[in-house]
Each structure stands twice: as structure tokens, then as C-alpha cells.
Amino acid sequence: MIAQKNSKMSDLHPTLAYITQTYPALTNTFIYREVLALERRGFDIAAFAIWKPDKQKLSPESRLLVDTTTYVFPLRWGGLLKAHLRYLLNRPRKYLGTALFAFTRPGESLSNRKRTLGHFIEAIYLAPEMEQRGVRHIHAHFTINAASIALILARLLDISFSFTAHNIFFTDRLLITDKLREARFIVAISEFSRQYLMRLLPGEKIGDKIHIVHCGLQPQTFTPPTERPANDLPVILFVAQFAERKGAPYLVEACRILRDRGVRFRCVIIGGGPQLATVQTLVARHDLTNCVELTGPLFQEQLKPYLARADVFVLPCITAANGDMDGVPVSLMEAMATEIAVVSTTVSGIPELIQDDENGFLVPEKDSVALANVLRRLIEDPALRIRLGQNGRQKIVQEFDVHKNAEQLTILFERYVQ
């Protein structure tokens, strides 16, 4: 990858494959940070992803990762056919046994069986590159597509796999019980997630192999400004993908309440995604264009000036209609690292990051009135903002430093991977 590898240190660790849906991506910068931190600890990491990102939508630094990552798509049909013939002819029992396992899981719907067929095809396509790189263990991020491919590859190649469970397993449980049983170990990003995973296999003792390792960041990269600018109006900042679980419409409604109460402020909403049109419509309907700015999505490097000027950071996460919810949002960590007072909700693992009235504020989900009340309190009390911001950075340094997280992962890889 980018980090210079120490060959003597690399010899101490087996080659690991990291696989995820899209890599790199604006929405999973924490994976890149994790990979880089592990490489600095001497690991040789082979990066794999299902989808190749559009380079034009990446930062200059992230574009370098594209050239060192192996992708399923765009597909090379000749390579796909060659890979399947290779394993069918040279290892027929292993190939057919893996196929039989993938296609005959009990209780799966027809649509899920079709998805599993796709993951089997994709896994075989990646197998030759993994063998050529000498991969001994696969680690997947997210429990769905990438972990399905890791499970199939581990069976085909007689190697081990593990995965980091972000919270998509609340709504998409394809092969989840097989993944939980067969993974060498599992990383949960919060105690909330760990408990949820254990409940998926009641009566089976899997808790000992589920370990909490937070997604993290580099605190030295996200530092508070020497002197935070004195804004003419207090600035409220939101940074996230506009997915339902992020709760952006509730922030817009809170802004309407504040405006109607005569509170003067400016709100900057950064991001794009499925709910963008909904948010735009709400801003226009409530005539908030004078106090709410929608910037669209920005690169990581473009966020720093906004973080430097923000007085309050808000992420009003909710449980979506289909059960989807956040884990522990990295954007909250970034804001806390820069000593911004943060406001979020009691959803999922967020209370493990934010302690109410200690290093931020928590409000009930989908409660714009409660959100507006807390925002008004922060807008009118600069000393409170400073106290919460300083405590927030301390929390990140102590528990969410990516280098400490990489140390925890190193211990797990050394313990479980032969």
C-alpha cells in the first residue's frame, strides 16, 4: 500500500487480505486508516474490494490506493472463466463442496440463494490472486457481501477468516449464522453490537470470540484550531451520507424551530445520498435557505476548514423504517477530536462514545424539539461548548485512537491466525 514496510517485521506476520464493498470510499475512510496503521506495525496487507470506485470522486491520496487493490468489478470475463476452470479441474472436490455449501444453506429465500450464487462466482474470481499473494487469513469489513465472499474463500482455500461487524447485520443477515460459527474471530465496534450478535445464535457460546475494537482515527490529524474563529453567527455542522439512519430531516426541523424562536445561527449540512432531495425540499418548504447551507458531498481533506469553524456538530441518528441504524459514527469522532461540542441520539452504540452532559449531549431519536432545546443551550453558552469539546477530544485520544485500535487488532491476528 502506501506505508513503507519493514521486511523483518513483515516476516513476523502472515499476509492478510482485507476485503470490503468499495475501497477506498468517502464513506469508509476508517478502513483505510486501519489498514495503514496495521501496515506500520509490520503487516503485509493485500487489499480487495467488490467494486472499483470512480477515481474522480476520491481525494488525491485515496486515488493511490486504487492501483494497489484487486477488484471484482469491472469484471474480466476471461479471468473469471479461467479461475473457475482452474479450481474445478485441479481441486474438484473442494470447488464442488464449496459450491454445495453455498447453495444449500437452510432457511434462505430464493433471492438470497441468487445472491449467494453471485458471491460464490466472485469469490472464485479472487482466489488465484489471494493464493499468489500468499494470503493466510482474510478479514472482511461489514457482515454482508464482503464477509460472504470471505466465508466462501476460506472454505475453498483452507484458510481462516474474520470480519468486523458494522451494524448492517440488523437488516441483512445473509449467511450470518454460518459467518458467526465459522469465523476465527469477530470484531464488534461496540458492546451494543457484540450483544446483538450473540443474540443471533442463542444457546451457542460465541461470546468469547467476539471482541470489541472501535473504529478509530488519528487524533494528531484531527486537531482543534489554535484559536477557533469567532463566528458572526454560531455554526451548526452536519457531515454524513444522507441515508435515513442519519436523521438529517430532524436537524432541518430543529433548525425551523430555532428560527421560529428567534435564535440566530447558521447550519451547514455536508453530504449526499438517498435523502438529499428530501432535505432540499424541507429546507425550501420551511424557508430556511438564509440559515441552512447544503454543500453536497466533500472529500475528507475539504472538511477541515468546516470543522475548524464549527461551534456545534450534530448527527441526529435514528432507527430507520427497515431497522437500519448506525454503529458508532466516525464523523462524531472526528468532530470530538477537533474539540467541537457534539449532539447525537441514544441509538445503538453512540452512548458508548458520548456521555450525556460530559463530552456531548444525547437526545431521544426523532425528537426535533429536544434537539432544538439542546442546540439553543449550546448556542447561548460558549463555556459549555468549550468544556464538552475538551472532554470529547480526551475521549477520542483515550479510546478511539486508530493506533491503539491497530494494537488491539494485532493482538487478535497474532492470537488467532497461525
| Predicted pLDDT at 226 | 85
| pLDDT given at position 4 | 37
Mean pLDDT of the region 299-310: 92
pLDDT grade, residue 56 (50/70/90)? confident
Q: Are residues 175 and 313 in the same domain?
A: no
**Residues 410 and 376 both lie in one domain:** no
First and final C-alpha spacing in the chain: 23
Question: What's the pLDDT score for residue 5?
Answer: 40
Please give the residue range of the domain that contains residue 11.
7-216+401-416
Q: Do the domain assignments include residue 221?
A: no
| Ranges of H-type helices in 223-329 | 248-260, 276-285, 300-309
Residues 45 and 73 occupy one common structural domain: yes
d(C-alpha 68, C-alpha 63), whole Å: 10
Mean pLDDT calculated for residue range 4-25? 74
Write down the mean pLDDT value for the chain.
Answer: 93
Q: Which residue(s) pair with 186 in the sheet?
A: 163, 210
Averaged pLDDT, 225-247:
93
Together in a domain, 200 and 270: no
Residue 59: the pLDDT is 80
Is 349 a member of any domain?
yes
Do both 377 and 409 map to the same domain? no
pLDDT, average across residues 166-176 = 80
Residue 11 has pLDDT above 60, yes or no: no
Q: How many CB atoms lie within 10 A of CB 88?
A: 14
Confidence of residue 301 (pLDDT cuts 50, 70, 90): confident
21 within domain boundaries: yes
Task: Work out the number of other CB atoms within 10 angstroms of the CB of residue 7.
Answer: 8
CATH code, domain with 317:
3.40.50.2000
For residue 169, pLDDT beyond 70 = no
Interval 260-278 mean pLDDT: 97
Give the rounded distance of the alpha carbon of 177 from its chain centre.
Answer: 21
Question: Of 323, 310, 303, 308, nearest to 267 (Cα)?
Answer: 310
Biggest distance spanned by C-alpha atoms of the chain: 74
Question: Residue 72: what pLDDT?
Answer: 98
Give 70-119 pLDDT, tens digit per residue. 999 999 999 999 999 999 999 999 999 999 999 888 878 888 889 999 99
pLDDT in tens, 322-353: 999 999 999 999 999 999 999 999 999 999 99
The average pLDDT across 306-321 equals 97
Q: Are 337 and 310 in contact (CB under 8 A)?
A: no
User: Is the pLDDT reported for residue 8 higher than 50?
Assistant: no
Q: How confident is the model at residue 168 (pLDDT cuts 50, 70, 90)?
A: low
Evaluate whether residue 224 is within a structural domain.
Answer: no
Locate 298 and state its grid cell: 466533500
Residue 11, all three cell numbers: 516476516
- Of 42, 36, 45, 38, which Cα lies nearest the Cα of 16? 45
Determine, yes or no, domain membership for 393: yes
Residues 176 and 285 in one domain: no
Mean pLDDT of 159-172: 86
Does residue 183 sit in the same domain as residue 249?
A: no
* Neighbour count for residue 172 (Cβ, 10 Å): 16
Residue 392 lies in a domain: yes
Q: Say yes or no to pLDDT of 1 above 80.
A: no
Residues 286 and 151 in one domain: no
pLDDT at 408: 97
Say yes or no to pLDDT of 12 above 70. Answer: no
Q: How many domains does the chain have?
A: 2
Based on the domain organization, do 393 and 412 belong to the same domain? Answer: no
pLDDT category of residue 58 using cuts at 50, 70 and 90: confident
Of residues 299 and 148, more confidence is placed in: 148
Is pLDDT above 50 for 2? Answer: no
Give the closest residue to 314 by CA, choosing from 263, 388, 213.
Answer: 388
The answer to whether position 2 is within a domain reads no
Query: Using one digit for the tens of pLDDT, what is the confidence trace for 179-219?
Result: 999 999 999 999 999 999 999 999 899 999 999 999 999 99
Q: For residue 228, tell me if it sits in a domain.
A: no
Same domain (yes/no): 346, 255: yes
Q: Are residues 410 and 387 in the same domain?
A: no
Are 334 and 364 members of one domain? Answer: yes
